[in-house]
Amino acid sequence: MVVSSARATRLSASSILPPSTHAPAYDRAARKTGIVHLGTGAFHKAHQAVYTDDALAAGGDWMIAGVSLRSPDVADALNPQDGLYTLVVRGAEGVSARVVGSIAKVLVAPREPQAVMAALTAPETKIVSLTITEKGYGLDPKTGGLDRAHASVAPDLADPRRPAGAVGLIVEALRLRRARGVAPFTALCCDNLPHNGKVLKRLVGEFAAAVDAELGEWIAANVTFPSTMVDRITPASTEATLAEAERLTGFEDRAAVETEPFTQWVIEDDFVAGRPAWEAGGAIFATDVAPYEKMKLRMLNGAHSMLAYSGYIAGHQYVRDVMRDAALARLVARHMDAAARTLDPVPGVDLEAYKADLLSRFANPAIAHQTYQIAMDGTQKLPQRLIEPAIATLRAGGSLDAYAFAAAAWMRYCLGMDETGQRYALRDPREAEIAALLGGLDDDSASIVDRLLALPGLFPHELAAAPEWRRAVQSRLETMLADGMRRAIESEARG
């Protein structure tokens, strides 16, 4: 038998998929676009787009027009496939494929700004959702409001009719809709920020007020910004993801993404122009999302950040490797326990069971989630994940050990050099500032701690000035620098 070496055909709307692959069960071409999504990366494709795919199967005009604010890569991979892509779901028990049909097309803002504004102002657009990462909002950590000097805000404030950042785009789209008598949309933040709807509302409100006070008032009265808690572990796609998609479906797919079986979405039900039946995909609608957000940010993301910094320096490439390291896995569990102690009861959730699920999700042997991926953007992630619960713990007189270990590991990571002498990029928007602060301080733990605790806008005075916090962080950083991360992890795990 001759084995063909020809490449598989590219996935498209005319592909006949194998019965083992879940495919869109609705007429895509007949559905209108009800959602414009800003930031069409892997997480959106593994999460909201999948719920929307289920909702479309249940009826309604909720196709998604994706927008990339910077890179054309997603559009260039997805558009030739008619917006279709394979979701590879990797569980401990096996792998499955699903082709998702909810994305109609992806626009690239720098390449086609008019098409983006046309989508945002179209009467059929009822929701504008966002996954642009924490750093995409132009949030001033000191005030919780708009940072007017931020790279994604300042140019748009200077030229608000030609916005490039998410907040500027939303404000200009709402200005045009109002001027044209088109009803507003709901703005739906899906990033890992606490009170993410309120945060977006404030940023949009401040930006709009700076452009036109009346517009600001109109937005406050007519636009809603529901908060959401989003959860699905989604590593960056690799060649292995694309190869697996092709193996499972028989079609070449340059836009495939991979994810875990678990998925969760809790949404505040406050939409001004209707919404998809996301319940069809298992979304939960709640009147108050805050307890779920806090739980997820502190227990999942907080433990993630802790294990990313300590694990990366200890030589673990993936989260699953961390979970096979008995001492570090104990610290992951300890961190979750500490985080749980800062939470009020979460409706319908048993925190012990939630923690057990998190531990097994982290240990999923089929998911290759890089510690280096999670380590990025630390200055944007630390406040909600580690600093807020540390302050709550300080106030309650509890043990700061788990947070001090995590903060020390982040500080060690900030040195930008691993224990073999290899340099790496922090991939943090404040990387240059951190490098300038730490230059030449390689093993001077006291100065490193002093300087990073004083990084403007990061550690609030209440925590930075608490002697027990400073001591707890410095003694751990000292061990990490003098004895190495391995020894630091072991001594910490011994308690």
Residue 279 is given by DSSP the state: G
- Which residue has the closest beta carbon to ligand CS2? 304
To the nearest 10 degrees (0 to 180), the angle between helices 401-413 and 445-453 is: 100
Instruction: Extract the runs of DSSP E, i.e. beta strands, from 25-136.
Output: 33-38, 63-68, 85-91, 94-100, 103-108, 127-130
Which of 243, 234, 206 is closest to 89 using CA atoms? 234
Strand partners, 63: 33
Q: Which of 206, 231, 244, 258 binds ligand CS2 (CB under 6 A)?
A: 231
x-or-dash pattern for ligand CS2, window 380-419, by CB under 6 A? -x--------------------------------------
Nearer to ligand CS2, 15 or 310 (CB): 310
Which of 380, 326, 344, 359 is closest to 489 using CA atoms? 326
Q: Which of 74, 97, 233, 322 binds ligand CS2 (CB under 6 A)?
A: 233
Residue 32 is given by DSSP the state: -
| Minimum CB distance to ligand CS2, residue 392 (Å) | 20
Nearer to ligand CS2, 21 or 305 (CB): 305
Interface with ligand CS2, residue 373, by CB under 6 A: yes
Strands 85-91 and 257-259: parallel
Q: Which of 232, 254, 316, 470 binds ligand CS2 (CB under 6 A)?
A: 232
| Minimum CB distance to ligand CS2, residue 304 (Å) | 4
* Distance of alpha carbon 418 from alpha carbon 435, whole angstroms: 15
Nearer to ligand CS2, 304 or 476 (CB): 304
Contact between 487 and 322 under an 8 Å Cβ cutoff? The reply is: no
Strand order in the sheet with 127-130: 103-108, 63-68, 33-38, 127-130, 186-189
Nearer to ligand CS2, 192 or 310 (CB): 192
Residue 89 is given by DSSP the state: E
Nearer to ligand CS2, 259 or 342 (CB): 259
Which of 106, 28, 104 is closest to 60 using CA atoms? 28
Nearer to ligand CS2, 175 or 232 (CB): 232
Considering only 2-10, 229-237, 412-420, 479-487, which stretch makes contact with ligand CS2 by CB under 6 A?
229-237
Considering only 86-94, 166-174, 228-236, 459-467, which stretch makes contact with ligand CS2 by CB under 6 A?
228-236
| Minimum CB distance to ligand CS2, residue 190 (Å) | 10
Considering only 92-100, 115-123, 226-234, 236-244, which stretch makes contact with ligand CS2 by CB under 6 A?
226-234
Interface with ligand CS2, residue 304, by CB under 6 A: yes
- Length of the chain in terms of residues written: 495
Q: Computed from CA positions of residues 298, 301, 302, 307, in that sequence, does the dihedral angle turn out positive or negative?
A: positive
Contact between 295 and 349 under an 8 Å Cβ cutoff? The reply is: yes
Site for ligand CS2 in 174-213 (CB under 6 A): 192
| Minimum CB distance to ligand CS2, residue 125 (Å) | 26
| Minimum CB distance to ligand CS2, residue 200 (Å) | 17
| Minimum CB distance to ligand CS2, residue 232 (Å) | 5
Residue 400 is given by DSSP the state: -
Contact between 155 and 164 under an 8 Å Cβ cutoff? The reply is: yes
Which of 402, 412, 407, 235 is closest to 314 using CA atoms? 412
Residue with tokens 């069971």: 353
Please state, as a whole number, how many other Cβ atoms lie within 10 Å of the Cβ of residue 359: 15
* Distance of alpha carbon 376 from alpha carbon 387, whole angstroms: 17
Interface with ligand CS2, residue 301, by CB under 6 A: yes
| Minimum CB distance to ligand CS2, residue 308 (Å) | 7
Which of 33, 32, 15, 34 is closest to 24 using CA atoms? 15
Nearer to ligand CS2, 15 or 301 (CB): 301
| Minimum CB distance to ligand CS2, residue 181 (Å) | 39
Contact between 406 and 309 under an 8 Å Cβ cutoff? The reply is: yes
| Minimum CB distance to ligand CS2, residue 137 (Å) | 16
Size of the site for ligand CS2 (CB under 6 A): 9
Nearer to ligand CS2, 178 or 304 (CB): 304
Interface with ligand CS2, residue 135, by CB under 6 A: no
**Residues found near ligand CS2 in the complex (CB under 6 A):** 192, 231-233, 301, 304, 373-374, 381
